[in-house]
Structure 1
């Protein structure tokens, strides 16, 4: 049996469950969202002859894309080296290593672009000394957003009319890709991107981010700004409060970025009862059990996890200071709107 056939036996893991939370609100729940683009990228690389049996796959990641690559590498017999930084969750790092991945942590940031630049610099060193190694480049590889045609197809078939799509933005692949394909069917689709304060993706200055798994310090090629009607910036405490409510009220055990997405999607469903809203929920909560689901860890963030706002404030510019859930009407503008500084690192 071929490697591709073996993979088919577990490929259902990449398909989301569609759960109806209220008459006009649906959750598109992934066990591990990044498994879909990672599998698609490797398939395309194999088909193009860029990736062969036993080759080295090397990527910079501190999140679930690394977990997806580690799983696929173990199944298909590839060597996997992941370059990360001290922010990587230690339980995730241990899981990556248990799957056979070589995890290297860069110790120091590099200039204005911080650990993102340091990780990329180290990645290039590894690639230079390993001819034939494959770099998926999740931020810039067009196969990333292309893979989400499957998700758009599932939503159109299982939900029917989709009026509003809501989801967190990091690499840009999931939301840009799903929105692009859904608009072929539903041209009036409203798309809301969910970011966090300190992320440069939609015009804010680079800064520290407590909420991990979304946002970025660089602007990926895969982020298509023209797909987004509005942008929401959510704090860690607001996202985690919504995540816990999702678990308690609906039994969905999801991660922090899912909390950020459901916070915004629930508001849209409440304020637009005639619209069908879909929230993209990126991964389950198991790897956050010692952090986001731990009361001691939550207390260390500061701020109560109850009495959080149920509505955003609307701001007039991405540069307008705010320390709470904020919304800006982006209007499907290109990435140079408000003179977003080009902070991505040349690859």
Structure 2
């Protein structure tokens, strides 16, 4: 399983005074390898086993890279958001890719993919489901990343990252707080994502947010949550490239926008932002000017700083944030609107 291990860790790139970007080639390689290794140790994954998973992005690619090296059959259930170049690459790696076209009545395309996945798991004897949304080995794998941050930077004051499956932010912050209990953790989401209490709606950002709530999102790890619109995320992705030469995907741009703002607002604090993958999958979308012109709000002025909302359930037309204060989702929603204090920690 360890042939690709050298590609798992991030490069720590200085972006400003005490601000660093943790730039990954493909962050999902780490949890994918870790989950498969643990499954093999526990007897769930045997030679020639069929791996079945739901993914429209980098976790599927990570599984395909590992499956081709170790002789596993891989079936991926995806949807329209799957980039055509990534689709072609998955096929080249031997993965069997099935596309779900219609969203489920509740949970959207993510739930429709999971429903289709259950059929494969039922019909293929001895199949294995890594289950990136619910497998506790996902966040557990990020102890390696936390160790790298400590070795390189020493004490960290703030960790910022996009939230999708919940593994990277929940796992990394949990490990770091064993040494730095005052670590300030900021999750980055997008409107219409249910992860932090928004009503479910259409999502236009691969890898950010979701229409189902994974158990790997540990809400008690977060001090603050930000929501950025697609136009804001894509503008930040271009800024990261133009200002720092980092050609990254949109989830990285989202983390960069929030981390850069928080770093300026809290001088002297050491801040690390998680940048999950490089920008090659987004050449025909995020990095294409004609495509960007189709994005709502792209041509207009965008917020230079977030607006503090009194509830994560509020409609959000632009960059917004909320003081989460390490509470559960139920606790936050029960007390939402009681105050706007604690915006900057």
Query: Common fold, TM-score beyond 0.5?
Result: yes
Once residues 248 and 26 of structure 1 are traced to their aligned partners in structure 2, the CA distance between those partners, rounded to angstroms, is 16
Match of 1:56 in 2: 50
Q: Is the 8 A contact 2:23 2:275 kept in 1?
A: yes
Relative to the length of structure 2, the TM-score reads 0.94
Tell me by how many angstroms 1:305 deviates. 5.4
Spell out the pairing of 1:11-22 with structure 2 (5 A cutoff): 11-22=5-16
Once residues 144 and 299 of structure 2 are traced to their aligned partners in structure 1, the CA distance between those partners, rounded to angstroms, is 36
What's the CA shift string for 1:122-146, capped at 9, x where partnerless? 1111111111111000000000000
The answer as to 2:247 corresponding to 1:285 is no
Tell me by how many angstroms 1:216 deviates. 0.8
Once residues 214 and 297 of structure 2 are traced to their aligned partners in structure 1, the CA distance between those partners, rounded to angstroms, is 32
Residue among 85, 90, 95 paired with 2:79:
85
Q: Is the 8 A contact 1:265 1:277 kept in 2?
A: yes
Q: Is the 8 A contact 1:40 1:143 kept in 2?
A: yes
Residue among 126, 132, 143 paired with 1:132:
126
Residue among 90, 99, 104 paired with 2:98:
104
Q: Is the 8 A contact 1:38 1:69 kept in 2?
A: yes
The list of structure 1 runs, each at least 4 consecutive aligned residues, that deviate by more than 6 angstroms after superposition, is: none
What's the CA shift string for 1:32-72, capped at 9, x where partnerless? 01110000000101111111111100001111110100110
Match of 2:222 in 1: 228
Q: Is the 8 A contact 1:241 1:306 kept in 2?
A: no
Q: Is the 8 A contact 1:240 1:305 kept in 2?
A: no
Match of 1:254 in 2: 248
Tell me by how many angstroms 1:302 deviates. 3.2
Q: Is the 8 A contact 2:20 2:271 kept in 1?
A: yes
Question: Which sections of structure 1, spanning at least 5 residues, go unmatched?
Answer: 341-347
Q: Is the 8 A contact 1:238 1:305 kept in 2?
A: no
Residue among 269, 273, 277 paired with 2:267:
273
Residue among 22, 27, 31 paired with 1:33:
27
- Cα RMSD, aligned residues only: 1.3
Match of 2:163 in 1: 169
Question: Which sections of structure 2, spanning at least 5 residues, go unmatched?
Answer: 335-345
Point out the more displaced range, 281-290 or 88-97.
88-97
Tell me by how many angstroms 1:306 deviates. 7.2
Match of 2:337 in 1: none
Once residues 155 and 94 of structure 2 are traced to their aligned partners in structure 1, the CA distance between those partners, rounded to angstroms, is 43
The answer as to 2:330 corresponding to 1:336 is yes
Q: Is the 8 A contact 2:225 2:322 kept in 1?
A: yes
The answer as to 2:65 corresponding to 1:71 is yes
Tell me by how many angstroms 1:168 deviates. 0.3
Match of 1:343 in 2: none
Q: Is the 8 A contact 1:241 1:305 kept in 2?
A: no
Once residues 244 and 160 of structure 2 are traced to their aligned partners in structure 1, the CA distance between those partners, rounded to angstroms, is 18
Match of 2:144 in 1: 150
Q: Is the 8 A contact 1:230 1:327 kept in 2?
A: yes
Once residues 128 and 258 of structure 2 are traced to their aligned partners in structure 1, the CA distance between those partners, rounded to angstroms, is 37
Once residues 277 and 305 of structure 1 are traced to their aligned partners in structure 2, the CA distance between those partners, rounded to angstroms, is 30
Partner SS for 1:116: helix
Once residues 19 and 156 of structure 1 are traced to their aligned partners in structure 2, the CA distance between those partners, rounded to angstroms, is 15
Tell me by how many angstroms 1:208 deviates. 0.9
What's the CA shift string for 1:134-190, capped at 9, x where partnerless? 100000000000000000000011011100000000100000000000001111000
Tell me the matched-pair count: 334
Tell me by how many angstroms 1:274 deviates. 1.6
Once residues 48 and 305 of structure 1 are traced to their aligned partners in structure 2, the CA distance between those partners, rounded to angstroms, is 53
What's the CA shift string for 1:58-104, capped at 9, x where partnerless? 00111111010011001111110001112222221111111110000
Once residues 225 and 288 of structure 1 are traced to their aligned partners in structure 2, the CA distance between those partners, rounded to angstroms, is 30
Match of 1:207 in 2: 201
